[in-house]
């Protein structure tokens, strides 16, 4: 059974390296044989020192977090010896496993039983948000259906009052060996035990609630905080809210992916917003002041006399928050207002006569067509810049 290194130091499993170091120094001062003369002080001092050596090593700590013991036989203690040329592999058998898929051709020294405790998988949930919610951020309650720790057996898999028994087939080693003859002589190979599946133990009296898996499926509601400025396809990570692993292993993470819904007035381009505002021909010629609704307020927009079709006004800082990779907001984007000057299609007799009089005054009874081209040699159509933006 894996030792509780965190409990030995009196720290939580999510303790930082600095917290682990402080806890060790405190206990070391209290238990040092030169200071503490109690009978078990020396033994406790050795245990505390061993726990600190394990938890201060990221690789060994990862083994502990997965439910294993890096100092157990075959559990990764090769690095403690200092002079072992195969340090980090746990011996020659592990090297042979790495190259030949688990068929160590030497003396049959395997890695021992694997831990029943395995890390859980990540989970993904998609969340629909409006443009307004993406702009302001929102707290949303979501329902997830994931594997959680079985509260009946606490992940052990056995019924209360019972415990797993040593596998009779492999004798607790988690693997079985066979000898085959070849032109090189006798070759010994190892493979996971088919009875215990490499665990070295068999659950003879499984928990009725989880059937020995150590976890059950449960539907639960959690609150996710969506930061301001998120966009379509972005993911928010909720650590430890994913699937609990087999044997009650550490849970994976839950990722909430944003699905931004199309807006009826605005088109988004990163942190910038674009909108199309229709302006009557007379208002464009004479000038006017328009009241424009933004995402969270209203803004007065001055249309200068003689405004042409396709004119763009930029309202600085009236776009969406700029969300950085660290989750903080640094400024806002802009709101681009594209003016679409509308030419009337239906006129009564009086309106027609007034326009004819205007044309006469301006000398435009028989206007000469003027054709211009854009940078690509193509004629620039009415409001083509905004149309091109919408097709990107």
Show binding-site residues for Zn(2+): 150, 153, 167, 170, 193, 196, 207, 210
Instruction: Determine the angle formed by the axes of helices 17-31 and 41-55, rounding to 10 degrees.
Output: 160
Q: Which tokens go with 274?
A: 């674009």
Under 8 Å between Cβ of 13 and 64:
no
**Cα gap 220→261, rounded to integer Å:** 26
Q: Minimal CA–CA distance to 234: which of 325, 319, 146, 144?
A: 325
Strands 272-280 and 335-342: parallel
**Cα gap 260→100, rounded to integer Å:** 49
Residue with tokens 């917003």: 273
Residue with tokens 């040699």: 377
**Cα gap 310→312, rounded to integer Å:** 6
If you write DSSP's letter for every residue of 88-100 in order, what string do you get?
Answer: TTTSHHHHHHHHH
**Cα gap 141→131, rounded to integer Å:** 18
Q: Which tokens go with 109?
A: 């020294």
Distances (CA, A) of 250 to 76, 216, 339: 20, 14, 56
**Partner residues linked to 145 by β-bridges:** 219
Phi and psi at residue 279, to the nearest 5°? -125, 125
Which SS3 state, helix, strand or coil, does residue 136 take?
Answer: helix
**Helix count and strand count (H, E) for the chain:** 9, 17
Residue set of the binding site: 150, 153, 167, 170, 193, 196, 207, 210
**Cα gap 274→134, rounded to integer Å:** 16
Residue with tokens 């007035």: 265
Distance, CA of 198 to chain centre: 32
Torsion of CA 175, 102, 246, 6, to 10 degrees: 90
Under 8 Å between Cβ of 201 and 166:
yes
Using CA of residue 389, residue 129, residue 314, residue 270, what is the dihedral sign? Answer: negative
């Amino acid at each position: 059974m894996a030792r509780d290194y965190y409990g030995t130091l009196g720290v939580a499993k999510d303790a930082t390296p600095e917290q682990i170091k402080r806890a060790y120094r405190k206990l070391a001062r209290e238990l040092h044989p030169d200071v503490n003369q109690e009978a078990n002080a020396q033994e406790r001092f050795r245990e505390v020192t061993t726990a600190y050596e394990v938890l201060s090593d990221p690789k060994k700590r990862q083994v502990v977090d997965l439910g294993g013991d890096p100092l157990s036989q075959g559990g990764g203690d090769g690095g403690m010896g200092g002079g072992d040329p195969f340090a980090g592999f746990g011996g020659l058998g592990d090297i042979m496993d790495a190259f030949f898929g688990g068929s160590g051709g030497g003396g049959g020294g395997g890695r021992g039983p694997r831990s029943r405790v395995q890390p859980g998988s990540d989970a993904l949930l998609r969340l629909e948000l409006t443009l307004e919610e993406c702009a302001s951020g929102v707290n949303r309650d979501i329902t997830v259906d994931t594997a959680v720790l079985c509260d009946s057996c606490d992940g052990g898999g056995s019924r209360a009052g019972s415990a797993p028994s040593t596998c009779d087939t492999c004798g607790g080693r988690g693997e079985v060996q066979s000898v085959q003859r070849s032109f090189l002589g006798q070759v010994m190979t190892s493979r996971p035990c088919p009875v215990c599946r490499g665990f070295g133990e068999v659950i003879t009296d499984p928990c009725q609630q989880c059937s020995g898996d150590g976890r059950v499926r449960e539907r639960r509601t959690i609150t996710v905080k969506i930061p301001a400025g998120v966009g379509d396809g972005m993911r928010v990570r909720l650590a430890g809210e994913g699937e609990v692993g087999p044997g009650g292993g550490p849970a994976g993470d839950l990722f909430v992916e944003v699905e931004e819904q199309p807006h009826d007035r605005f088109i988004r381009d990163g942190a910038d917003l674009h909108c199309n505002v229709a302006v009557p021909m007379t208002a464009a010629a004479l000038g006017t002041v328009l009241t424009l609704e933004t995402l969270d307020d209203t803004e007065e927009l001055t249309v200068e006399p003689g405004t042409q079709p396709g004119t763009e006004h930029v309202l600085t800082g009236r776009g969406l928050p700029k969300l950085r990779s660290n989750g903080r907001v640094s400024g806002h984007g802009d709101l681009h207002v594209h003016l679409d000057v509308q030419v009337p299609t239906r006129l009564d007799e009086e309106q027609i006569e007034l326009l004819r009089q205007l044309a006469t005054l301006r000398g435009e009874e028989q206007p000469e067509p003027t054709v211009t081209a854009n940078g690509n040699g193509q004629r620039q159509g009415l409001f083509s810049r905004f149309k091109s933006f919408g097709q990107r």
